[in-house]
Amino acid sequence: MHPRIEDYALIGDEQTAALVGRDGSVDWLCLPRFDSAACFARLLGDRHNGHWRIAPKGVEGACTRRAYRPDTLVLDTEWETDGGAIRVTDLMPQRDRHPDLVRIVAGLRGRVAVRSELRLRFDHGSIVPWMRRADGHRVAVAGPDAVWLRSEPAVRTWGEDFATHSEFTVGEGESVAFVLTWHPSHERRPPLIDPREALRSSVEDWRAWAARCRYDGPHRDAVVRSLITLKALTYRPTGGIVAAPTTSLPEQVGGVRNWDYRYCWLRDSTLTLGALLSAGYQDEAEAWRDWLLRAVAGDPADLQIMYGLGGERRLPEFEVSWLSGYADSRPVRVGNEAVNQLQLDVYGEVIDSMALARAAGLPTKPHVWAIQCALMSWLSENWRQPDEGLWEVRGGRRQFVHSKVMVWVAADRAVRALEENPKLRGDLAGWRAMRDEVHREVCEKGYDPQRNTFTQSYGSRDLDAALLLIPRLGFLPSDDPRVVGTVDAVRAELGHGGLVRRYSTDGATVDGLPGDEGTFLACSFWLADALQETGRPEEARELFERLVGLTNDVGLLAEEYDPVAGRHLGNFPQAFSHLGLVNTALALYGGEQAG
């Protein structure tokens, strides 16, 4: 039986991340980057696909308790046994080049026998490395990968069943520290780190970072935890932020809606900038803005919906046949074919992000306006095309209303920039005319007057939760009857258990996929925002309280939630969900609207 998705906690070093279960097992880790092949892939298979469990000997189940150290990404997992109690502290200290996974076992009471089982499997759980002793350590090598394991002090360790086992006993006040270090196999072993010093400095660094948070309203702990999670999902060398550190966690258990989210999406750009800037993290916001500018540079016709950690464009999708999938949810996918889709909304996201960065006073770049003009030039000739839309549907292109609203956003922000700064050069008259034409078309073709709601696409009766963003984007004022009607219609028709689906999957006519999916947590936060904007603050706060209550025991959210089964679904933890939590908290309690 697979643990529930919400049974995992996250640790990371801002270049990759690991998931640690309640049973003390690290079941997912890609080295050396978020998008590298996993060396622990039990999450998407079984124990033979790689994991590392440390727990009291003979104890098979979950821990007694666990928690992050306050305002850090350092995880403490504790067990109470008949003979005593232990704590396992897990972290990945920030690195210069080579990643380290540190696991420190400390005795709290009595004496406890502890067992470690390390089962390394490179290339997404498929390759058994050659393990040998070297310099008193264990080193595993296969192809380009080498991993070193050591303990301080040294403990009894042996190989068995293609795994590395250790057993030892810790008493009160004693500790044993394990360090797992990766490096390219053709290079020499990197310098050793001091695991206890790494723990001390990691706690200190995370707390100093968290202390910069300006938000001081209700649920501050949840907001700070979400910001720490977003920081952990940042690829520090470039500033890019991955949507999630995992691939193929299912949107329906046993289904095929399983995607690779270890990349950076443009759709998140404005929301990310808004959250970071409003919470007080200007350096991180600037790094994300700069990543965005590098990624989109080039021919505007080639603008993609997502990029790799460094702005890589080719993210070919293939299926990993040897992994059975989370709870038999197949296929397991690596890469993302949606990278080749046309999504007009990303042009609006990029230009809106640049407008937000300019308004926030981020240091300007000489080429920023030239990029925006190039994007607008292409968009003015191509905005009438159908596209795949915000949700990357695979059922064919349509005239999605949200995409057209984002086209309007692009034109509106470009016009405003010229009006506010006459020194800038651009097609003011043409972009104004485009803005007005898009607005008229959306209100005529994307609105159902009989039901008083905007629709998912032109001529459709279906709805889309992205329509909740209309007032936030400024397309119509929040008191417009069409906005209020749309919010009510989305809540009524896409609501499920008090939360919101992205769109209807009945018949799979839109996304071209069989099966169903859970409620989408980011969209549920958008509903709270829309309720606040349309004059229903009590309902907004009630929904926000419920959403915060869905975080797992260490404050993390997946992409989706099943209100019937009461479990998380989709990739985990999900940046989009945590962005929603931060931005909604700021909108409800922060005194200013983020994003």
User: What does the DSSP assignment read for 376-414?
Assistant: HHHHHHHTTS-B-TTTT-SS--B-BHHHHHHHHHHHHHH
Confidence of residue 591 (pLDDT cuts 50, 70, 90): low
- Cα-Cα-Cα-Cα dihedral sign, residues 147, 152, 153, 155: negative
Mean pLDDT, residues 354-359: 94
**Structural contact between residues 240 and 216, judged by C-beta atoms closer than 8 angstroms:** no
Rg of the Cα atoms in the chain: 25
Confidence of residue 428 (pLDDT cuts 50, 70, 90): very high
Q: Where are the domains of the chain?
A: 5-205, 212-589
**pLDDT for position 507:** 64
Q: In this structure, how many other beta carbons lie within 10 angstroms of the beta carbon of residue 204?
A: 11
Q: Which of 414, 391, 542, 543 is nearest to 467 (CA)?
A: 391
- Residue indicated by tokens 């000489």: 366
Cis preceding-peptide flag for 331 (omega within 30 of 0): yes
Mean pLDDT, residues 98-104: 98
Question: Phi, psi at residue 447, to the nearest 5°?
Answer: -125, 135
Question: In the structure, how many helices (H) and strands (E) does the chain have?
Answer: 14, 28
Confidence check: pLDDT of 373 > 60: yes
DSSP state of 313: -
- Residue indicated by tokens 């622990």: 40
Confidence check: pLDDT of 592 > 50: no
Confidence of residue 593 (pLDDT cuts 50, 70, 90): very low
Tell me what percent of the chain is helix, strand and coil, each rounded to the nearest 5.
35, 25, 40
CA–CA separation, 101 vs 31, rounded Å?
11
pTM of the complete model: 0.96
**Structural contact between residues 278 and 230, judged by C-beta atoms closer than 8 angstroms:** no
Confidence check: pLDDT of 579 > 70: yes
Least confident among 72-76, 361-365, 397-401: 361-365
Q: Which of 326, 241, 431 is nearest to 42 (CA)?
A: 326
Q: Taking the mean position of all CA atoms in its chain, how far away is CA 350?
A: 19
Confidence check: pLDDT of 224 > 50: yes
**Cα–Cα distances in Å, from 420 out to 96, 199, 372, 415, 423?**
43, 49, 15, 9, 9
* 3-class secondary-structure state, position 75: strand
Mean pLDDT for the chain? Answer: 95
Confidence check: pLDDT of 595 > 90: no
Cα three-residue angle 157-161-162, rounded to 5 degrees = 80
- Residue indicated by tokens 């651009």: 426
